[in-house]
Chains A and B, each alone.
Chain A
């Protein structure tokens, strides 16, 4: 099943799109695996996703650590640390 990926803030700007639909290979199990795999999609992806320690993620709108498993997820968001308020 295709997975919806959402990007926010400078991650979105560097990738050049806010949203895309992807079907990762079966060996992509965690958010970190997904980030590594997405980085190969374009030069913009590679630049935006080069430093995973600067990224945060949400799986189906819940904040998770990057080692979280994505099996069965429908929507994954990748973004910088939040700066609201």
Chain B
């Protein structure tokens, strides 16, 4: 089961985890990204491409489900204004065993970073600036395209 949600509402960590649980599920791996107060960032705004963003997240979750033995995959991304300490993204993968859940979870967040249309704008003391893409994110995403034996 795939669950994709792009919303300006706060992310309900416990509620989303509980949705993944079931009698046959042996492992739920999670990644939760928070807004950092880097160098005095007091506000972070997330812009997205409605429709295309959800479609991109759905493609990423489907690719993970084909690659690993998953029972469920959830990708939730918050958009709009946020503050340091708030949850910005939550990725969950449920599987019978831990390795599938852990690897799929890492895949979901690495691909999201490069393949889903979101843009961050940070504000420090009233001055806003668009965040530049990081080369390290492309490297992290590319490791999943290496041929697997």
Q: How many residues of B contact A (CB 8 A)?
A: 29
Known: A58-B49, A58-B52. A9 touches B130 (CB 8 A): yes
Annotate A52-85 by CB proximity to B: 1 below 8 A, 0 otherwise. Answer: 0000001001010000000000000101111111
Which residue of A6, A10, A85 contacts B118 across the interface (Cβ within 8 Å)? A85
Are A84 and B89 within 8 A (Cβ)? yes
Name A8's contact: one of B33, B49, B133 (CB within 8 Å): B49
Q: Is the beta-carbon distance between A83 and B118 smaller than 8 angstroms?
A: yes
- Interface presence of B117 (CB below 8 A): yes
Closest residue of chain B to A10 (Cβ to Cβ) is B130
Known: A9-B130, A83-B131. A77 touches B119 (CB 8 A): no
Decide if A79 touches B118 in the complex (CB within 8 Å).
no
CA distance A58 to B115 in the complex (A): 11
Contacts of A84 in B (CB 8 A): 46, 48, 77, 89, 112-113, 116-120
Residues from chain A with a CB closer than 8 A to the CB of B83 are none
Our pick among B51, B88, B120, B131 for the contact of A61 (Cβ within 8 Å) is B51
Could you write out 28 A-B pairs with CB less than 8 Å apart? A9-B121, A9-B130, A10-B130, A61-B49, A61-B52, A61-B55, A77-B49, A77-B52, A79-B49, A80-B119, A81-B132, A81-B133, A83-B118, A83-B119, A83-B120, A83-B132, A84-B46, A84-B112, A84-B113, A84-B116, A84-B119, A85-B77, A85-B89, A85-B109, A85-B112, A85-B113, A85-B116, A85-B137
Please give 7 more A-B residue pairs, beta carbons under 8 A apart, in addition to A83-B119, A85-B116.
Answer: A8-B49, A63-B115, A77-B117, A80-B133, A84-B112, A85-B113, A85-B118
What is the interface of chain B, defined by CB distance below 8 A to chain A?
33, 46-49, 51-52, 55-56, 77, 88-89, 109, 112-121, 130-134, 137
